[in-house]
Amino acid sequence: MNIETMETHAFDVLVLGSGGAGLRAAVEAASEGGVSVAIVGKSLLGKAHTVMAEGGAAASIGNVDAPDSWQTHFYDTMKSGHYINNYRTVEVFAKEAPARVLELEQWGAVFDRTPEGRIMQRAFGGHSFRRLAHIGDRTGMELLRTLQYKAISMDIKVFQEVTITRLLMDGSRVAGAMGYYRADGHFILLKAKAIVLATGGWGKVYKVTSNSWESTGDGAAMAYRIGADLKDMEMVQFHPTGMVWPPGVAGLLVTEGVRGEGGLLYNSEKERFMKRYDPERQELSTRDVVARSIFKEVQAGRGTPHGGAWLDISHKKADFIKQKLPGMYEQILTLGDIDITKQPFEVAPTCHYQMGGVQAHAETCATTVPGLFAAGEVACGLHGANRLGGNSLADILVFGRRAGIAARDYATSLKKAPEIDDTQVEAEVARILEPFNRPDGENPYAIHQELQEAMSTHAAIVRSEDDLKVGLNKILSLKERAKRMGIKGGRVYNPGWHAVFDVENMLLLSELIVRGALERKESRGGHWRSDYPDELPEMGKWNFVHQYSEDGDRITRVPVPEMPPELAEICARPVAPGREKVAGSSQVPPRKE
């Protein structure tokens, strides 16, 4: 490969990932002009994982429950994260989320309305007030489509179906990225002064997952390889309500909106079992609690025929269900043959979200690599040990924007554009083409499947030292086999070839999840250890940071940043700010049944 003839571009700001976080970053970086901006996605524009989000975006606008405030959103988010979140990230987030949601309306998003004609907000687990701005059950699509059309109306260069495989360096700072066009396999080199990483999560490491195919963690893996710190990797969210039956759709999400709109959970004995696990919040408890409760019911022999719980919203009027949850109604009818307006249906936990990821500064989203910024699901800091529903869509808006600003500022402050030496590019070209030399090598699909089995068996919702060790060994031996992955066919739209790099990234991140899970000898949020069933105050003082080294992953404990008194005071309150008057009433928030 002659580097001279490789397709090459140079930009001030390069955004990797065209999900919500990436698009929001690109829009911001380009908003003042004078800065060249490009955005890259490995799918077509408008198809990113964000499109799947259903329930809503959390922001304390207070249109439905007036006493809501940023303080309450802060309180809820810290509590749900079991206090290993970065408090400053949470503070910035809670304060800015309302403005970010309202601004979408300016760009064409049309949220559901309150009777007063304002943006409607719905209840969700762990939120003290009705807080999720939504559009039926397709809020992510609205958000993504709005940002997509905003971005194409601006001066932003869009690369579609380009897979980035490596971040390139100039000394210790980032200098660009390279990859290939999926359509025909030709290489592309993108030089940049600053890069925003917005490549999303890695839910595809588990067998039963709500995530789209893109969620293979490429960005996190690439950042780790160039020395960026990764944090809290053991913190994986299992959403309590994935579809269970038929097997073809297992894992497909049933939005929390079903419970938000009044859906109830029952075990095989027709008991509303959540009363036993969280008498106050019941179905609207946080996801870690509800997922674990369903798991425990099934273990105790009170599961549904296919190993889950019953979710029932049929006590609500059919018209109400079809208006509030049209997508769910149709999804479960066409794929599961069940009319949810008439009968209950089976649900069980499904892998949903990665709280861990690339460590990012609370205000600038800067990673530990100069010039590299991270926002959205790939980043870490906001959610702690358990993410609240609706906080991710708000996250990608707030920190997408902030990463865009910081990248723009960084790029304009650079006196000299970074340079990329040819050896990095040559080495990557060789690596990318290598699998073609082994037409009879290991099948990447088979390795992926075995990895998913291993992760689902040994490092999923319940974990233990012995199990995790077995899992780790399996991952390490898969990693060895993966070195011999090979493919048939040519470079034109060859999914087998594409899968090779996805699988390498997933193997790496799976290893970090398991190593982190071994290290955290306690149960906290999404991380549940059967051999350490309690949450330990001593462990709550630490985040675990992963660093790349020649001889493998290096884990260090770093102290969770300590809150200033005024924020600590908020967290110490016995009831959420604004709820003092209603405290003592049983249901939070008030619901009609």
Ligand X SMILES: Cc1cc2nc3c(=O)[nH]c(=O)nc-3n(C[C@H](O)[C@H](O)[C@H](O)COP(=O)(O)OP(=O)(O)OC[C@H]3O[C@@H](n4cnc5c(N)ncnc54)[C@H](O)[C@@H]3O)c2cc1C
Binding positions for ligand X, rule: CB under 6 A = 16-22, 40-43, 48-50, 52-57, 139-140, 162-164, 179, 198-200, 210-211, 214-215, 218-219, 253, 353, 376-378, 389-393, 396
Q: Which of 134, 259, 448, 527 is catalytic?
A: 259
Query: Shortest CA distance to 284 belongs to which of 335, 318, 241?
Result: 241
Which residues from 244-283 bind another protein, rule CB under 8 A? 245-249, 252-253
Work out what residue 142 binds among another protein, ligand X, none; the CB cut-off runs from 5 to 8 Å by kind.
another protein
Cβ neighbours of residue 537 closer than 8 Å, sequence gap 6 or more: none
What 3-state class would DSSP assign to 517? helix
Contact (CB, 8 A) for 232 and 543? yes
334 makes contact with another protein (CB under 8 A):
yes
Nearer to ligand X (CB atom), residue 471 or residue 589: 589
Q: Which is nearer to ligand X, 16 or 195 (CB)?
A: 16
Would you mind telling me the total number of residues written for the chain in this entry?
A: 593
Helix and strand numbers, DSSP H then E, in the chain = 16, 19
Residue nearer to another protein on the CB measure, 246 or 564: 246
Q: What is the token pair recorded at 522? A: 């306690």
Options 70-78, 117-125, 193-201, 403-411: segment touching another protein (CB under 8 A): 117-125
Of the listed pieces 146-154, 164-172, 344-352, 501-509, which binds another protein according to CB under 8 A?
146-154
Exposure of 422 by Cβ count < 10 A (0-12 exposed, 13-18 middle, 19+ buried)? exposed
Q: Looking at 100, 182, 239, 281, which residue is catalytic?
A: 239
Interacting positions 461-490 with another protein (CB under 8 A): 487-490
Q: Which of residues 495-524 bind another protein (CB under 8 A)?
A: 495-497, 499
The least CB distance from residue 348 to another protein, in Å, is 15
Quick one: which H or E segment has residue 106?
A: helix 87-106
Q: Please identify which residue in 7, 32, 105, 280 interacts with another protein, judged by CB under 8 A.
A: 105
What is the C-alpha separation between 518 and 423, in angstroms, rounded?
38
Q: Burial letters for 355-376: b for 16+ Cβ neighbours within 10 Å, e otherwise?
A: bbbbbbbbebbbbbbbbbbbbb
Residue 239 annotated as catalytic = yes
Reference 242, options 331, 330, 124; nearest CA is 331
Q: Which residues contact residue 34 at a Cβ distance below 8 angstroms, ignoring those fewer than 6 apart?
A: 412
Instruction: Based on the shown chain and the rule CB under 8 A, indicate whether residue 149 belongs to the binding site for another protein.
Output: yes
CA distances 31 to 149, 156, 185, 364, Å, are 14, 10, 32, 17
What does residue 302 show for φ and ψ, rounded to 5 degrees? -110, 30
Which of another protein, ligand X, none does residue 320 bind (CB under 5 to 8 Å by kind)? none
Specify burial of residue 73 (Cβ count, 10 A radius: 0-12, 13-18, 19+): buried
Is the CB of 233 or the CB of 252 nearer to another protein?
252
Closest separation between CB of residue 172 and ligand X, Å? 22
> Binding residue for another protein (CB under 8 A) from 66, 108, 186, 533?
108
Q: Is 138 a catalytic residue?
A: no
Interface positions with another protein (CB under 8 A)? 43-49, 51-52, 102-103, 105-108, 110, 112-113, 116-119, 135-136, 138, 140-142, 145, 149-150, 152-153, 160, 183-184, 212-214, 245-249, 252-253, 327, 331, 334-337, 443-446, 449, 487-490, 492-497, 499
Provide the annotated active-site residues. Answer: 239, 259
